Amino acid sequence: MTGVSRDDFLGGAIRLYQPEEGYRIATDTVFLAASINYQVNDRILDMGAGTGGILSCLLSRTEGQEEKQAGTNIFHGIEQQSELLALARRNAQENDFGDRIEYFAGDIAQPPVSCEPNSYHHVVSNPPYLKKNGATASPYQTKAMAHMDSDIDLGEWVHLCLRMIRPLGYLTLVHRADRLDDIIAALHGKAGDIIIFPLWSTRDKDARRVIIQARKGSKGIIALKPGLIVHTSDGTFTPEAEAILRHGKALDITS
């Protein structure tokens, strides 16, 4: 394993171990986790869990809500890379989520038997951002595999996620804005009530990232939301972004 750092997230509410070089958690992970609104007894699956940032941030934001603590939510993650899987499990234990999150070794194309298709209320994922052969791969394997399509392209990744969701359950992704057409094409005829929520770099620049949420089996139309401006003109986080990233505030992508 490469060197590992221990980093604060959500203003120190949680600490996550991650490789010093290679795959590292970005603000995209925190924004995605903040957008998930789950109910008591919901089952949630992270496809391609990396070091477990999404589920750790999600639980940190909601653990104080007694009605959710009283439930029997099931939080699962699937990760193929053994180095990242070990860190995800370590992060769950270090943040006292070990009794609520379980990570499985496996390929999302062939999920572990403990992760049943058509059984999850929510599937969340931060799929690889770059098309295969569309950019120079990182020299670090953890980052190269996490950031670039391999044998599973983005459309197939979306289909594999949808397979795991129960009817009328939700898929929520964060991805590059310039690959939105690939995601919409993959959802066509399989999911509706699609929400597109841009993450604007600054007020006067194009959105580089989008959060996309869709409901399996629904026929509802696409809704383009105003989104969130992440940075001010001087490069600091806007108060709205700061509240999510540092103070664990939820991100309402429906309004």
> What average pLDDT does the segment 93-120 reach?
96
| Higher-pLDDT residue of 203, 145 | 203
Give residue 167's pLDDT band: very low, low, confident or very high (50, 70, 90).
very high
Residue 236: how many other CB atoms lie within 10 Å: 10
115 neighbors 104 (Cβ within 8 angstroms) = yes
> What average pLDDT does the segment 199-225 reach?
96
- pLDDT at residue number 134: 52
| Higher-pLDDT residue of 236, 67 | 236
**Of 66, 88, 90, 63, residue with least CA distance to 76:** 88
Tens digits of per-residue pLDDT, 56-96? 999 999 875 655 555 678 999 999 999 999 999 999 999 99
- pLDDT at residue number 71: 65
Rounded Cα distance, 247 and 239, in Å = 11
Proportion of the chain above pLDDT 90, given as a percent: 83
Q: How many CA atoms lie within 13 A of 247 on its CB side?
A: 9
- pLDDT at residue number 52: 97
DSSP state of 155: H
Crossing angle for the helix pair 239-247 and 27-34, to the nearest 10 degrees: 90
**H/E stretch holding 75:** strand 74-79
Residue 26: how many other CB atoms lie within 10 Å: 12
- pLDDT at residue number 138: 42
For the domain spanning 4-247, the CATH number is 3.40.50.150
Rounded Cα distance, 132 and 130, in Å = 6
Tens digits of per-residue pLDDT, 14-49? 999 999 988 899 999 999 999 999 998 999 999 999
Rounded Cα distance, 48 and 77, in Å = 7
Tens digits of per-residue pLDDT, 138-153? 444 544 454 444 579 9
> What average pLDDT does the segment 212-218 reach?
98
Mean pLDDT of the chain: 91
119 neighbors 74 (Cβ within 8 angstroms) = no
CA distances (Å), 229 to each of 10, 32, 40, 127, 244, in order? 18, 15, 31, 22, 12
135 neighbors 148 (Cβ within 8 angstroms) = yes
pTM: 0.89
